[in-house]
Chains A and B, each alone.
Chain A
Amino acid sequence: MKKLFILVVLAAFGLSTALYAQSSKKQTVTIKTNACSSKSDEIFKEIIPFLKGVSSYQFCEHSGNLTVTYNPKKTDEATIRKAIAKLGFDADDVKGDPVARKKLPQECFTPVKKGSCKHSCGGH
């Protein structure tokens, strides 16, 4: 039983370290995209948080705004915009990659009816 207790403590320690590692100096940027609907968010969810230096994001499917929290030491706004454009979406003034865009479901660009911006950050 002692062994077990030690293991549980170790696991808990590993967990808290992993969580703590995420909280260093951060900046946020809001990028206007042409993405709409939760379908786009499903794509963002798999890509945006895994970009180098990015810790989290929020996507508003009504405005198309993507709010990205990142570590300025590891990445910058231009890099994030480029990554979004690489998926096929326009990011502010960076046009989406046309080849990638063709492969995206049409639904990603279908405007959602006006409404309040639903909390939608993919990580809930």
Chain B
Amino acid sequence: MKKQLFILLCLGFFIMTTQAQVQTLKGTITEYGEGGSMSPVSGASVQWLGTNIGAFSDAEGRFEITRVSSVNRLIVRYITYANDTIEVPQDQETLNIVLSSANSLQGVEVSAREGSYISIKPILTQITTSEGLRRAACCNLAESFEGSLSVDVEYADAVSGAQQIAMLGLSGIYTQILLENVPYIRLLGNQFGLGFVPGSWMDAISVSKGTSSVSNGFEGITGQINLDYKKPETNKEKLFLNLYGNTMGSADVNLNTRFPMSKTKPVYGLLLLHANSQMARLDNNKDGFMDLPLTKQLNSMFRIDYRYKEVMEGRTMIGYLIEDRVGGQMKYDPKQELNMFNPYGLHIKTNKVDLITKNGFMFKDHHHRSIGTILSFNFQDNQSIFGMRLYNAEQVSGYANILYSDRFGAKENHRVGMGLSMQVDYLREILKTLQVSTSHYFQNKKEIVPGFYAEYAYSIAEKFIVMPGFRVDYHAYYNQMLYTPRLHTKWQISEHNAVRASAGKAYRVSNVIAENLSLLVSNREFNFVEDLRPEEAYNVGASYVRTFKMKGGQSIFTVDYHYTHFVNQTIVDMDRDAHNIYVYNLNGGVNGILNQSYSHAFQAELIMLPIDRFEITLAYRFNDVQMTTAGQLQQKALMSPHKALLNLNYATRYNKWKFNTTLQYNSKMRLPKLDPALVQPEQELPQYRLDAQSPDYFILNAQITRKHKQWEFYIGAENMLNYKQEMPILGYDNPFGPQFDASMVYAPITGIMGYVGMRLTLRNH
């Protein structure tokens, strides 16, 4: 992990031959900073394998090391990255090493301008760089997945504006979202958490599908998304300012500033600030409801990086967020009295505090040995009104993880990692429906989960890597031991061909209301049929990656397939009738035996660079997600089985102009259907009725960026074909009536949206 942040690559080493025997090896150590630019890395060490001869890089990242005859393997070590060994031929004089924050075991070549690339680690991981992130209007994390099919993003309902993701066709709650390898978006964060991660704070997003490493916990049934924020130590921007506005009446301001905190010691600070606001009440579809909720968000983070000699280094971040969100009918006023004679409204107030500290300790004589600690604390508080329902929730979470990692063997081809973890969650929820005293829901839940894990990676001649891992957790709330075995393998068939396979188990504990707040924007009633047990699933997957040279750079072809099989799942059944939601265990008491839930997910992606600075991405994915609901095995509702994507990116020389367009195709989806026996005559009216299937549709986005010395201006449009779901809210004419349901969203609610923005970047060289 963190310790595994590994050296990615060594590029651009130009060999200036001449003498047969070279006395010294000189070079530089750099890393990718913001915008794909390189910054020098000081204090990294290089050492010839099996010798005591080593050197450190200086403030400009330069190093010089005496050559040892007969030794060609150079160990490169830097605190935040994992160590790596590079082969340096005897006649080579210079070596330029580029570190990457990708978790990887050996190098791949990455061009600074590429928007995304595949890491070489045994777990297939696609990394979107900050360059790639700028291609979307990208105000927050949810919008960052526009150029990819691995992660689907959709609006959860037509009122709250919450955006949710899905991976392998399954809901985002099954994907583990980490911030620099610390579990981050969880529990109460599930509903709006993606909107709490500003695009301009991020340096990279790593997406891996299927089973993930055991080091981060037993979760992650469908995969893992790891976010890297900009880091104080490496960030090249002294000051970064982003201003954004769009035709829907929304504005964003971002301000990042990075500064050294000590004249003598390596201590750096970075302040990240973000504010956004949706100011206009819009109702383009004339249903009396705001198309987008009014929001005001203030989000801040302060983080510092510090280092003590070559012994200890750490990163600490403190974040605070406050958000106010008002949606519902156009005339809704959050100050109004709650009763059925007033307009229907939604009002959510969120406060969130995060504190994360990660510290690593190194051993001078054992260059691969390290101990890392992670401590994180999170507090979140939601106070919400959904029409006549009140939902208040509070979450306090603590997480501690101590990890040990080392490598051994003559060729350092054995890697061991193990650790102890502890997750504590306290969640208090109250859901009441005014004037209906019977339907109060109250939960006061304390979860304490201590765990242990061990992971071992063995590489054979850098061709095969086998990485088994195992973890055991004790879930005190359920009084249940959770055993999590996982296995990853990689076969590097040749320089340009790699095959990976993985299999593993994962668990999850559901908190139904907190994860399904969008279902509160309906008059459906929650019915908890039985006590829920932890969700439990197996995932197996395989992938093939082929890289090939094209005129513009290295191009990549990827195919992958994943199968997820649920042993137990919390079923949130909306198919039984239109007025209720039934919540039960997959094989619980409701429908008896033989309920099933599984997903087959296939994806193919081709990224080509046919000429300089021109990148084409073509992708297609197919998901077959079947689940027994209402006693019948059927395609998961509101999920597109087929999606295709075409993404074109072109930049003129020096990136003076950049052009991006994305076209995405979404196939028809199944919509939850009503039991014919329960359909009353008035439900046949168009405003109360759903078709069995949604139509298919295209989404087109485009953006143009003009770069100057310090300023960058961008203009773009989203949903340029102006495709909208005509009537996203069922029963909009009577929001307190039984037919009201705003959770049946399959397409954009708003039409074409234009935006402009500018960025100011002051760099420190």
Q: Which residues of A contact B (CB under 8 A)?
A: 3-4, 7-8, 11, 14-15, 18-19, 22, 38-39, 42-43, 45-47, 49-51, 56, 103-107, 110, 113, 115, 118, 122-124
Q: Report 24 cross-chain contacts, Cβ distance below 8 Å, ordered by A residue.
A: A4-B663, A4-B700, A7-B720, A11-B661, A11-B702, A15-B650, A18-B657, A19-B652, A38-B12, A46-B37, A46-B763, A50-B654, A103-B765, A104-B765, A105-B40, A105-B59, A107-B28, A110-B62, A113-B93, A115-B14, A115-B16, A118-B14, A122-B654, A124-B612
Q: B64-76: contact bitstring with A at CB < 8 Å (1 yes, 0 no)?
A: 0000000000000
Known A15-B650, A50-B656, A110-B62; contact A4-B721, beta-carbon cutoff 8 A: yes
Q: Quick check: is B309 within 8 A (CB to CB) of the other chain?
A: no
Q: Quick check: is B653 within 8 A (CB to CB) of the other chain?
A: yes
| A18 adjacent to B61 (CB under 8 Å) | no
Q: Tell me which of B14, B60, B709 contacts A105 (CB under 8 A).
A: B60
Q: Tell me which of A7, A46, A123 contacts B709 (CB under 8 A).
A: A46
| B765 adjacent to A43 (CB under 8 Å) | yes
| B709 adjacent to A3 (CB under 8 Å) | no
The answer for the CA separation of A46 and B702 in the assembled complex, in Å, is 25
Q: B11-43: contact bitstring with A at CB < 8 Å (1 yes, 0 no)?
A: 010101000000000001000000001101000
Q: Quick check: is B491 within 8 A (CB to CB) of the other chain?
A: no
The answer for the CA separation of A77 and B680 in the assembled complex, in Å, is 83
| A50 adjacent to B650 (CB under 8 Å) | no
Q: Quick check: is B194 within 8 A (CB to CB) of the other chain?
A: no
The answer for the CA separation of A48 and B220 in the assembled complex, in Å, is 47
| B60 adjacent to A107 (CB under 8 Å) | yes
Q: Which residues of B contact A7 (CB under 8 A)?
A: 700, 702, 720
The answer for the CA separation of A18 and B372 in the assembled complex, in Å, is 51
Q: Which residue of B lies closest to A105 (CB)?
A: B60
Instruction: Sort chain B's interface into a size bin.
Output: 20 to 34
A-B residue pairs, 8 tightest by C-beta: A123-B653, A49-B654, A107-B60, A50-B709, A105-B60, A123-B654, A115-B16, A18-B657
Interface centre among A43, A47, A51, A124 (most CB of B within 10 A): A124
Query: Is chain A's interface secondary structure helix, strand, loop, or mixed overall?
Result: helix
Within the complex, what minimum Cβ distance (angstroms) separates A89 from chain B? 12
Q: Which residues of B contact A18 (CB under 8 A)?
A: 652, 657
Known A3-B721, A43-B765, A105-B60; contact A50-B14, beta-carbon cutoff 8 A: no
Q: Tell me which of B59, B60, B707, B765 contacts A50 (CB under 8 A).
A: B707
The answer for the CA separation of A124 and B765 in the assembled complex, in Å, is 21
Q: Quick check: is B708 within 8 A (CB to CB) of the other chain?
A: yes
| B763 adjacent to A107 (CB under 8 Å) | no
Q: Which residues of A contact B12 (CB under 8 A)?
A: 38
Q: Quick check: is B586 within 8 A (CB to CB) of the other chain?
A: no
Known A15-B659, A50-B708; contact A107-B62, beta-carbon cutoff 8 A: yes
Within the complex, what minimum Cβ distance (angstroms) separates B613 from chain A? 8
Within the complex, what minimum Cβ distance (angstroms) separates A47 from chain B? 6
The answer for the CA separation of A13 and B93 in the assembled complex, in Å, is 48
| B765 adjacent to A14 (CB under 8 Å) | no
| B698 adjacent to A4 (CB under 8 Å) | yes
The answer for the CA separation of A7 and B717 in the assembled complex, in Å, is 11
Q: Which residues of B contact A47 (CB under 8 A)?
A: 709
Extra contacts, 5 of them, besides A4-B700, A11-B702, A105-B765 (Cβ < 8 A), are A46-B709, A56-B654, A104-B765, A113-B94, A115-B16
Q: Which residues of A contact B221 (CB under 8 A)?
A: none
The answer for the CA separation of A105 and B30 in the assembled complex, in Å, is 13
Q: Which residues of B contact A19 (CB under 8 A)?
A: 652
The answer for the CA separation of A103 and B763 in the assembled complex, in Å, is 12
Within the complex, what minimum Cβ distance (angstroms) separates A118 from chain B? 7
Q: Quick check: is B704 within 8 A (CB to CB) of the other chain?
A: yes
Within the complex, what minimum Cβ distance (angstroms) separates B159 from chain A? 29
Q: Which residues of B contact A3 (CB under 8 A)?
A: 721
Q: Which positions 708-765 of chain B face chain A at CB distance < 8 Å?
A: 708-709, 720-721, 763, 765
The answer for the CA separation of A36 and B634 in the assembled complex, in Å, is 66
Q: Which residues of A contact B708 (CB under 8 A)?
A: 50
Within the complex, what minimum Cβ distance (angstroms) separates B145 from chain A? 22
Q: Which residues of A contact B37 (CB under 8 A)?
A: 42, 46
The answer for the CA separation of A47 and B700 in the assembled complex, in Å, is 34
Q: Tell me which of A14, A22, A42, A106 contacts B38 (CB under 8 A).
A: A42
The answer for the CA separation of A96 and B704 in the assembled complex, in Å, is 36
Q: Which residue of A lies closest to B35 (CB)?
A: A46
Interface centre among A45, A46, A56 (most CB of B within 10 A): A46
| A11 adjacent to B659 (CB under 8 Å) | yes
Within the complex, what minimum Cβ distance (angstroms) separates B192 from chain A? 33
The answer for the CA separation of A98 and B594 in the assembled complex, in Å, is 79
